[in-house]
Structure 1
Amino acid sequence: MSEPLRIEVVMAWPDRCQSRQLVMGEGATVADAVAQAALDTADTVVAYAIHGLLASAQQVLRDGDRVELLRPLLADPKENRRRRANAGS
């Protein structure tokens, strides 16, 4: 019999962070972890990452994985760089 997986699911905002520690069975996916974590973020998540690398909802998890729920960007990073570059001219 396989060992259970220890998974963390996190969601961060500029002023706070929500996190859940989970114990899941072998074969659990990102979608399974998000559902089990039951964070109040379902309408704001646009993508998932595991340890900072983009992941799909069907990706199988490994022990110690940290699933990050990604929010939409508030500003376009390219536009912000352009604006800063133009301000310095």
Structure 2
Amino acid sequence: MLESMIEVEVVYAAVDRQVLLRVAVPSGATVRAAVKGSGIGAHFPELDLDSCPLGIFGKAVADPAVQLVQEGDRIEIYRPLLADPKEVRRLRAAKAAQARARTPES
């Protein structure tokens, strides 16, 4: 019996380039299996496909080893954050407060 296949996209954007691959995966494949089977690791050997964060259409997938893909899904591989966004906002607000404190009021 032939296994039915579905088509999905796997995309990764590095700092200097991005790759989008359209691949056929078996129906019932998990998000992680689809990424590993896509061949994107050949384009980005530095990626750890076993543990990198993944999402579908901009929404993070909590457990990519369990969640199944659907026809037409766009699976995104996320880069690790270089800085915590909350910490960056806190530092920016503190810097703005210091600048206001140094400026004499008119």
User: What's the TM-score bracket when you normalise by the shorter of the two chains?
Assistant: 0.7 to 0.9
**Number of aligned positions between the proteins:** 89
Letter paired with 1:46: C
1: CA distance, partners of 2:26 / 2:39:
17
Query: Are 2:9 and 1:8 aligned?
Result: yes
Identical aligned residues as a percent:
38
1: CA distance, partners of 2:65 / 2:55:
9
Give how far 1:23 is off: 1.2
TM-score (norm 2): 0.71
TM-score (norm 1): 0.83
| Long gaps (5+) in structure 1 | none
| Long gaps (5+) in structure 2 | 98-106
Which residue number in structure 2 is paired with residue 83 of structure 1? Answer: 91
Give how far 1:60 is off: 0.6
Give how far 1:3 is off: 5.8
Between Structure 1 and Structure 2, the one with more strand by share is 1
Question: Which structure's CA Rg is the greater one?
Answer: 2
Which residue number in structure 1 is paired with residue 59 of structure 2? Answer: 53
CA RMSD of aligned residues (A): 2.3
